[in-house]
Amino acid sequence: MGRYILRRLGFYLIAAWASLTLNFVIPRLAPGDPAAAMFARFEGKVAPEAMGALKAAFGFTDAPLYAQYLTYLKHLVQGDLGMSYAYFPARVSEVIGTGLMWTVGLAGVAVIISFVAGSFLGVLAAWNRGGWLDSGLAPALAFLGAFPYFWLAMLALYLFGFVLGWFPLRHAYGHDMEPGLSFAFAADVARHAVLPASSIVVATLGGWMLGMRNTMVATLGTDSIRLAHARGLPPRQVMLRYAARNALLPNVTSFGMAVGFVLSGSLLTEIVFSYPGTGYLLILAVRNQDYPLMQGLFLVITLAVLAANFAVDLLCLWLDPRTRAHA
């Protein structure tokens, strides 16, 4: 088993290197000149004579690609992500720092809630096939999930924030709050997170529920479950420990992916609810051809996807004795 884990680790290291390299190459293949885009935002406020000096200040070089690549790797190892063009002269790490925690917090919690609740509802729906949960809630959630997210979020904001005034209209916490480890601040953050988090949950719950329900239905038809029933085990134990545990595996795998993609940002959530986060930074980086910021964000996303998948591998190892046998 130790060898299995080591092998997986090795695989993830190679995958990390490959994606870091792609991360370096792809922005450089894109059309357009970042220096020109930079210059553009000054709308003629900068004399053309200042352009050369400007390029030097931004660190644009004409060095050969392999040299740029080596510098890139060296800086990465040192944890230096460079200077953002769009937020010049702020460091990329500082820019990402403004949103990373909030994205992880909001989208992470929302994805976990959605996964746990969706899977549980799926189990119940399959167990009571044809019940109101199965024939009522499941289609209703699938219906909600099919709405464009943007529209759903705007509607929630308008209804619960603007018209009813139950929840704040924007931001992760009130602008007069002192961030810190106080109960008041935590309550304020929670209050601000309700609308954005529930909009994500509502939009994704149906997917988890349906996925879980379908594998559960298949599992329930297997001989092992029939045997468990025949042996007179309590139904709750059959449902959770025998059927659900087996049916959960595919869902756990997709959960790994979903957690990884949390960081690429719930862009629309952030825009609708003015929530700080990395999704908005990513779109801004693309618009401004801010390569260092783009690379920094992709790096964070890549590492998160890989780490999440590694965690899922370990989780499957625990959930599924068969993987242990192969390992």
Partner 1 sequence: MRFARALLPLALLVACSSEPRPRPPGVLFVSVEQQSAWVRNFNPLFAGAGARWPTRAGVYECMEIFSSAQGRWVPWLATGHAWSEDQLTLRFHLRDGVRWSDGKPFTADDVVFTFHLLKQHAALDAGGVWRFLTDVKAETQGTVAFTFSRVYLPGFSDLAHQIIVPQHVWKDIADPVTFTNPEPVATGPFTQVTLFRNQVYELGRNPHYWQPGKPAVSALRFLAFPTNDQANMALVEGEVDWAGNFVPAVDRTFVSRDPAHHARWFPLYGSTVFLYPNTTRPPLDDVRVRKALSMALDRDRLVEVAMYGYTRPADATALNDAYTGWKDADVAKDAWTRYDLDAANKLLDEAGLTRGADGLRRLKDGQPFTMDLEVVSGWSDWVRAGQVVGRDLRKLGIGVTLKTYEFGTWFTRLQKGEFQLAISWSLDGPTPYNFYKWLLSPRTVRPVGEVAAANWHRMGDAQADELLMRFERAGTPEEQHALMSQVQRRFSAVAPAIPLFPNPSWGESNSSRFTGFPTEQNPYARLAPHAEPDSLLVLTELSPRER
Q: Using CB under 8 A, list all residues that contact partner 1.
A: 31-34, 36-37, 39-54, 56-57, 83-84, 86-90, 94-95, 98-99, 102, 162, 165-176, 179, 187, 190-191, 194, 270-271, 274-277, 280-281, 284, 287-289
The residue (of 228 and 262) whose beta carbon lies closer to partner 1 is 262
Query: Do 211 and 250 form a contact (C-beta atoms < 8 A)?
Result: yes
CA distance 309 to 303: 10
CB of 243 to partner 1, least distance (A): 20
Query: Do 244 and 123 form a contact (C-beta atoms < 8 A)?
Result: yes
The residue (of 51 and 112) whose beta carbon lies closer to partner 1 is 51
CB of 135 to partner 1, least distance (A): 18
CB of 89 to partner 1, least distance (A): 4
DSSP per residue, 264-318: T--HHHHHHTT---HHHHHHHHHHTT-HHHHHHHHHHHHHHHHHHHHHHHHHHHH
The residue (of 34 and 211) whose beta carbon lies closer to partner 1 is 34
CB of 13 to partner 1, least distance (A): 32
Using alpha carbons, list the distances in angstroms from residue 255 to 13, 57, 118, 258, 312.
21, 43, 11, 5, 8
The residue (of 132 and 147) whose beta carbon lies closer to partner 1 is 132
The residue (of 80 and 320) whose beta carbon lies closer to partner 1 is 80
CB of 131 to partner 1, least distance (A): 13
Query: What are the structure tokens assigned to 199, written together?
Result: 């909009």
The residue (of 280 and 298) whose beta carbon lies closer to partner 1 is 280
CB of 190 to partner 1, least distance (A): 6
Residues in the chain: 327
Q: Which residues pair with 284 in a beta bridge?
A: none
CB of 55 to partner 1, least distance (A): 9
CB of 49 to partner 1, least distance (A): 5
Query: Do 107 and 266 form a contact (C-beta atoms < 8 A)?
Result: yes
CA distance 276 to 135: 38
The residue (of 8 and 170) whose beta carbon lies closer to partner 1 is 170
* Nearest one of 294, 231, 254, 264 to 122, comparing CA atoms: 254
By three-state DSSP, how is residue 45 classified? coil
* Nearest one of 89, 2, 83, 226 to 10, comparing CA atoms: 2
Query: Do 19 and 260 form a contact (C-beta atoms < 8 A)?
Result: no
CA distance 286 to 288: 6
The residue (of 12 and 160) whose beta carbon lies closer to partner 1 is 160
